[in-house]
A and B are shown apart, each in its own frame.
Chain A
Amino acid sequence: MTTYIVRRLLLFIPTILIVTIIIFLLMWIVPGDTAMLILTGNDPNEGGRVSLEDVERLRAKLGLDRPVHIQYGDWLWDMLRGDLGESLWYQTPVIDELGGRFITTVQLAVMGMGLAFIVAVPLGIVSAVKQDTKLDYMSRLFALLGIAMPTFLIAIVVTYVLAYVFDWLPPLDYANLWEQPLTNLQQMIFPALAIAFHDLAFTARVTRSSMLETMRDDYVRTARAKGLTEMGVIGRHALKNALLPIITVSGYQFGRLLGGVVIVEVIFLVPGIGNMLIDAIIHRDFVVIQAVVVLVAAVVMFLNLVIDLIYGVLDPRIRYQ
């Protein structure tokens, strides 16, 4: 077990370093100079009015005149100390803004995933138990619809239905989860539904195939042979064993889910990191883009690490691979 944990941790460190290098280099190759970008206020026609000395001074102040590996080292060190730099556009520390928004985004993602699970797992089980019946085909078709619908399309359809049927429009101001938990949950339930629909399709598919696999296992046959009711076989033996891969695969998909959350946030005006990212892209605020992307990657990688470790504890077969 210890060897497994150590090996997994040793793989984690170089990988996360490579992620930061990729993101850093990506922002480093920005066409045009960041200092120039700040001085001209992003307007390419302003270039003539900026003096070269000003650009040089700002470059020195931002540390852009140093060799690239020094810049990377500093950036990484600052990040480890919790300093994500200052927004180029708002001139405020990124970390102040990011914290609260990150919690909102995670809340939305978790709510969406939870809602998806409530519907998808029963759907997947029915599909597996009644394999190749009309019920199975219908639930698979439903899953297929969910996978083929881009998240923004689902979100638009949800807003459309809400506006038509319930006269509900996305609130301009979302209540704080801690101060007004009820209002907040009420407001977040609709964006969460939009996320759930997409995730649902995927989870139902995984549930179906995981259930199909366990249903063919020997212990399920044994359970049937000793005279358990079909419900008992499915609930107590098959589902229990099938659930582990369902949860882990869903966990690995968290990153994909975050991509969908970005879009849902934009459509429902939710103040999460997705809206922050889009806003930063529009203002070409590379410090913020960098911070958000690193945060997302770190969360995804950390989650994968935790899942791997838990899986290693729960399923001894994994450790010996």
Chain B
Amino acid sequence: MANQTNQRAEVAVPPRAGMFQPAATGIREVKRFTRRKPLGAIGGLLVLVLVIVALMAPVLAPYGARELPDRHEGGSTVYIPPNSQFLLGTDHVGRDVLSRLIYGARISLYVGLGSVLIGITASFIIGVALAYAGGIIDMAAQRVVDALMALPGLIIALAIVAVLGSSLNNVILAIVIGMIAPVIRTVRSQVLSLKELDYVTAATAIGAPPWRIVFRHIIPNCFAIYLVLATYYLGFAIIIEASLSFLGVGAPPDQPSWGGMLTRAAQEHVLTAPWVGIFPGVAIFAVVMGFNILGDALRDVLDPRLRGR
């Protein structure tokens, strides 16, 4: 038994994360990661492309997101198939699909990062607090978590946006409430198991106060799970945002959200103007896929206990 506990303690030592070390080692870590997890590296690359496109949108996009460009040959610019002027064609108003796609990366990234930073961080604080509070507070909070778990993410998000009205920040709030329950549950059980480890007992034995144990031992050991959860839930957030916008209750219609771009494409012009729908569809798929496979690979590398599950 004692032997077993020792083994668990060994595995739970903080992983060698690249970002805590000098830059040269960082590059080496990335190379090692690429070699060990080629699929994860592809995911990382897709995520990197999303970030670059979002940051450089005004430089990369040939037109503005709401701009109605003139056609070189003259005439109407509505529903032009992809050509040399409009690489990915134009939509029902005559806006450039490529430009809207590029600016749309900003919305996906804004909603994704916003909801994940708020949602996962808040869940972490609550999860750690609950694991330490225990007793009746923990018991009561667990029932609220159970209750929230019974509300499917998309449906609770729909209800919240219906009440508060559709804006990007309300979408973020809706996604945060949709993700908070499962994350609190995961963090709470992680902290509960960390509390039982030998080095925490040792720290208690030498008289370390609880806050010191939490900040010096528990939280640093949760770093891996934080990173993995954040990566997964970025994908989740982007899907929910796209779904809400697709249903017409997410981003306001003039915003170039990828989900919103698909609405008309799907409903009216599946056959006559497929380019309007195909490209945002591919973009959503690639980005969510990128976050998912990066999350899988990070989990394998950072948290050996979960490997292969």
Contacts and interface: CB of A to CB of B under 8 A. Distances in A.
Interface in A220-257: 255-256
Nearest to B267: A267
B164 interface: yes
A172 interface: no
A30 interface: yes
Interface stretch (A59-67, A95-103, A152-160): A152-160
A259 interface: yes
Nearest to A256: B152
Contact of B147 (A22, A159, A255, A262): A22
A259 B247 contact: no
Closest 5 CB pairs of A and B: A259-B154, A148-B289, A18-B147, A259-B152, A255-B152
A11 B143 contact: yes
For the side of the interface on B, what is the size category?
35 or more
B289 to A, nearest CB: 4
The secondary structure that dominates the B interface is: helix
A148 B235 contact: yes
Nearest to A290: B159
Contacts of B242: 150, 152
A287 to B, nearest CB: 12
Nearest to B296: A144
Given A31-B165, A152-B246, A263-B247, A300 B152 contact: yes
Contact of B266 (A14, A159, A277, A278): A159
B176 to A, nearest CB: 14
Interface stretch (B5-13, B82-90, B277-285): B277-285
7 contacts: A18-B143, A26-B159, A148-B288, A153-B281, A156-B266, A259-B154, A304-B150
Interface string A70-104: 00000000000000000000000000000000000
The secondary structure that dominates the A interface is: helix
A304 B155 CA distance: 18
A313 to B, nearest CB: 22
Interface residues of A, number: 53
A159 B270 contact: yes
Could you say which of A11, A148, A149, A163 has the most chain B C-beta atoms within 10 Å of its C-beta? Answer: A148
Given A163-B270, A277-B158, A27 B163 contact: yes
A29 B17 CA distance: 44
Given A277-B158, A293-B155, A156 B277 contact: yes
A262 B246 CA distance: 12
Contact of B163 (A30, A152, A296, A297): A30
B262 A152 contact: yes
Contacts of A22: 144, 147-148, 151
Contacts of B281: 153, 156-157
A267 B158 contact: no
Contact of A148 (B153, B156, B285): B285
Interface in A245-290: 255-256, 258-260, 262-263, 266-267, 277-278, 280-282, 284, 286, 289
B243 A152 contact: yes
A299 to B, nearest CB: 9
B226 to A, nearest CB: 21
B77 interface: no
Given A15-B147, A18-B144, A23 B277 contact: no
Contacts, number: 131
Contacts of B159: 23, 26-27, 289, 293
A164 interface: yes
A150 B292 CA distance: 12
Given A259-B155, A284-B162, A293-B151, A164 B266 contact: no
A281 B162 contact: yes
A289 B157 CA distance: 12
Nearest to A260: B154
Contacts of B285: 148-150, 153
A284 B163 CA distance: 8
Contacts of B154: 259-260, 262-263
A215 B153 CA distance: 34
B271 interface: yes
Contact of B152 (A144, A147, A159, A258): A258
A23 B162 CA distance: 12
B80 interface: no
Contacts of A159: 266, 270
A301 interface: yes
A127 interface: no
Contacts of A262: 154-155, 158
A148 to B, nearest CB: 4
B150 A15 contact: yes
B131 interface: no
B155 A277 contact: yes
Contacts of A260: 154
A187 interface: no
A19 interface: yes
B160 interface: yes
Could you say which of B159, B235, B248, B292 has the most chain A C-beta atoms within 10 Å of its C-beta? Answer: B159
A145 interface: yes
Contact of A144 (B147, B247, B289): B289
